């Protein structure tokens, strides 16, 4: 995507907090000594009296956020995804999820694209962890514009929210007049041969893959599924009925994330062939983000490869059984006697 502006979605997180705070004095930000990396330092500089550095104590930070929320304050707790969802899981579950408190968790540095920090920081399990908490909304923006809109929507809604933002700069493809709605997917490109449902920084890769697939004669519907929970079941079912096959793409484990959320809808409402692209049952490792994404197949080229093979395989399978539908059963029985 040459000549396209690239901005990390964590930048949008910091910008949105600052914008919202200008109009709402009940918003506060809590950090675990990572304000510079999570980009909440932007908020800290503008509103120092409403920013609280809890130190390297994520579990305590979540407890403080929970307490503040009971007083009409809207706290945004920020840390790396590995610590926000992993280290503080029990506190999120019991102190925020169970009483269904109005706390927003902004988790940056999610996924393989954390890069050189390695497996210990490359959290590919956060969607799965947060999805299991009853009442928790789970979201991941595709670009900076959507990140800003998502944070504003999270502030406006009542209840716990988990948002994942990326470390690496990614293409900005939404226009400034983009409207975001929690729980709704976004069709970016129409198609009827296959639907590619992606989330986060994999959406720009899916867009690029869609262009290549179109040039190769495969019409792919590209869907941005920013809200992973609650999933837009209506859009998933529509895509299944009209495209007949679905590919999911996420910078997350194929276990428990977007792919399984889509699979759950399909299995109950409209079973069609499904292929999941994501991190397989393995840990990441240290390396440049761009190289790691390619190595783990989280790139446009691999989406094209997997989708092309998937469409070919499912098309061949359908073709093999199709003639049976047009055969006179009596003649067929005579032929096999």
Distance (Å, whole) CA 166 – CA 111:
8
**Residue 90 CB partners (closer than 8 Å, separation 6+):** 59
Alpha carbons within 13 angstroms on the beta-carbon side of residue 251 total 37
**Burial of 72 (C-beta count, 10 Å sphere; 0-12/13-18/19+):** exposed
b (16+ CB within 10 A) / e for 279-305: beeeebeeeebeebbeebbbbbebbbe
Q: What are phi and psi of 123, to 5 degrees?
A: -80, 115
**Cα–Cα nearest to 272, from 221, 225, 229, 227:** 221
Whether the CB-CB separation of 221 and 190 falls below 8 Å is answered with: yes
C-alpha dihedral over 85, 90, 92, 94, to 10 degrees?
A: 160
Q: Which of 58, 208, 250, 260 is catalytic?
A: 58
Whether the CB-CB separation of 47 and 76 falls below 8 Å is answered with: no
Distance (Å, whole) CA 198 – CA 185:
10
Question: What is the DSSP secondary structure assignment for residue 270, as one 8-state letter?
Answer: -
DSSP state string for 59-80: HHHHHHHHHHHTTT-EEEEEEE
Whether the CB-CB separation of 302 and 277 falls below 8 Å is answered with: yes
> What is the helix (H) or strand (E) element at residue 221, kind and residue range?
strand 220-224
- Active site (annotated) includes residue 58: yes
CA distances from 333 to 28, 139, 159 (A): 74, 55, 62
Q: Which residues are catalytic?
A: 58
């Amino acid at each position: 995507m040459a000549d396209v502006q690239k901005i990390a979605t964590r930048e949008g997180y910091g910008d949105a907090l600052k914008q919202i705070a200008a109009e709402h004095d009940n918003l506060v930000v809590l950090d675990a000594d990572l304000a510079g990396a999570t980009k909440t330092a932007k908020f800290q500089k503008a509103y120092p009296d409403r920013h609280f550095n809890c130190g390297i104590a994520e579990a305590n930070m979540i407890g403080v956020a929970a307490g503040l929320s009971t007083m009409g304050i809207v706290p945004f707790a920020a840390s790396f995804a590995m610590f926000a969802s992993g280290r503080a899981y029990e506190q999120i579950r019991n102190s925020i999820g169970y009483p269904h408190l109005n706390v927003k968790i902004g988790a940056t540095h999610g996924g393989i694209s954390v890069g050189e920090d390695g497996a210990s920081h490359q959290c590919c399990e956060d969607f799965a962890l947060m999805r299991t908490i009853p009442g928790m909304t789970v979201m991941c923006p595709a670009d900076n514009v959507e990140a800003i809109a998502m944070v504003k929507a999270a502030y406006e809604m009542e209840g716990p929210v988990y948002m994942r933002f990326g470390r690496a700069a990614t293409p900005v493809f939404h226009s400034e007049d983009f409207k975001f709605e929690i729980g709704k997917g976004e069709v970016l490109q129409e198609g009827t041969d296959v639907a590619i449902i992606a989330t986060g920084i994999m959406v720009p890769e899916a867009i690029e893959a869609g262009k290549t697939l179109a040039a190769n004669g495969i019409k792919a519907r590209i869907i941005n599924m920013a809200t992973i929970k609650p999933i837009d079941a209506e859009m998933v079912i529509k895509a299944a009925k009209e495209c007949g096959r679905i590919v999911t793409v996420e910078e997350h484990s194929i276990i428990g994330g977007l792919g399984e959320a889509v699979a759950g809808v399909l299995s109950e409402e409209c079973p069609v062939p499904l292929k999941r692209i994501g991190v397989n049952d393995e840990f990441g490792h240290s390396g440049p983000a761009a190289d790691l994404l390619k190595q783990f197949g989280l790139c446009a080229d691999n989406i094209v490869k997997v989708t092309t093979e998937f469409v070919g395989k499912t098309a061949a399978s359908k073709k093999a059984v199709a003639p049976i539908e047009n055969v006179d059963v009596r003649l067929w029985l005579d032929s096999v006697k």
